[in-house]
């Protein structure tokens, strides 16, 4: 499923075409996503300018005037594609935003586990308020991680995948970061020393930054808005490499 690097890749891909432009029209072809799309969404967004495109965890935020926002979650199989309005929508193109620059942004989601929600900057959606810090932000480091992992018996891999502790570290990136830090994923989270927490925090940041640089990881469904796959899969050390030689030591 799309994780933080894939969502950030998507954000960077669509931002130049949305920020500073106006939404002319919205079409909702299938409102039955993970949570129902509000019925008045087309009326709410018509003729509204997009001031910025941001990301919080795995949510894309279309920041509108009057501090209102559209939250887009890609679910397990979703993707956003910039297209020519003259091209017919594909099957599973459930929501589209027609822009004043002659482009259309289409949400493609075969499994319909994605979401299109709305909120206000001063009243963030409840699904944002429970999230931990951004792993690439200034508030995430080894000291923070040590404090959050202290006393926890759950496996460290499960702990760093907990969005209440830190956002965006999914299965692939947790495995890769633990490998780089030299920490077994099944160790109790509370057993990590402070130096290990610093090493793990640094590895998480390194892995996510590298994945973003390479456009994310394409396993099956994910494509960037350009239609290109993510290439981080080619450098994975752990994920999908059971019984294969280690890339570092060859054993």
The residues annotated as belonging to the active site are 2-3
> What does the DSSP assignment read for the chain?
---HHHHHHHHHHHHHHHTTEEEEEEEES---SSSPPPTTHHHHHTTEEEEEEEEETTEEEEEEGGGEEEEEE-TTT-EEEEE-TTSPPPTTEEEEEEETTS-EEEEE-TT---EEEEEETTB--HHHHT----TTSTT-SHHHHHHHHTT--SBHHHHHT-TTTSSS--HHHHHHHHHHHT--TTSBGGG--HHHHHHHHHHHHHHHHHHHHTT-B-SSS---TTSPPPBGGGG-SSTT-TTSPPTTT--
């Amino acid at each position: 499923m799309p994780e933080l690097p894939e969502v950030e890749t998507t954000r960077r891909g669509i931002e130049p075409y949305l920020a500073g432009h106006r939404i002319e029209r919205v079409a909702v072809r299938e409102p039955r996503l993970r949570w129902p799309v509000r019925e008045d969404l087309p009326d709410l967004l018509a003729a509204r300018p997009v001031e910025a495109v941001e990301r919080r965890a795995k949510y894309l935020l279309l920041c509108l005037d009057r501090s209102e926002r559209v939250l887009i979650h890609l679910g397990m199989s979703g993707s956003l594609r910039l297209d020519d309005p003259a091209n017919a929508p594909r099957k599973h193109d459930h929501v589209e935003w027609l822009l004043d620059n002659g482009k259309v942004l289409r949400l493609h989601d075969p499994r319909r586990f994605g979401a299109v929600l709305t909120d206000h900057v001063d009243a963030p959606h409840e699904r944002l308020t429970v999230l931990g810090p951004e792993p690439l932000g200034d508030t995430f480091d080894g000291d923070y991680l040590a404090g959050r992992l202290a006393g926890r018996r759950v496996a460290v891999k499960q702990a760093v995948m907990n969005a209440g502790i830190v956002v965006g570290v999914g299965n692939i990136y947790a495995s890769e970061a633990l490998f780089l830090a030299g920490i077994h994923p099944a160790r109790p989270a509370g057993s990590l020393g402070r130096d290990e927490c610093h090493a793990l925090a640094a590895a998480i940041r390194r892995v996510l930054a590298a994945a973003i640089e390479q456009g994310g990881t394409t396993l099956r469904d994910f494509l960037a808005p350009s239609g290109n796959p993510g290439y981080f899969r080619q450098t994975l050390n752990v994920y999908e490499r059971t019984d294969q030689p280690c890339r570092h030591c060859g054993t």
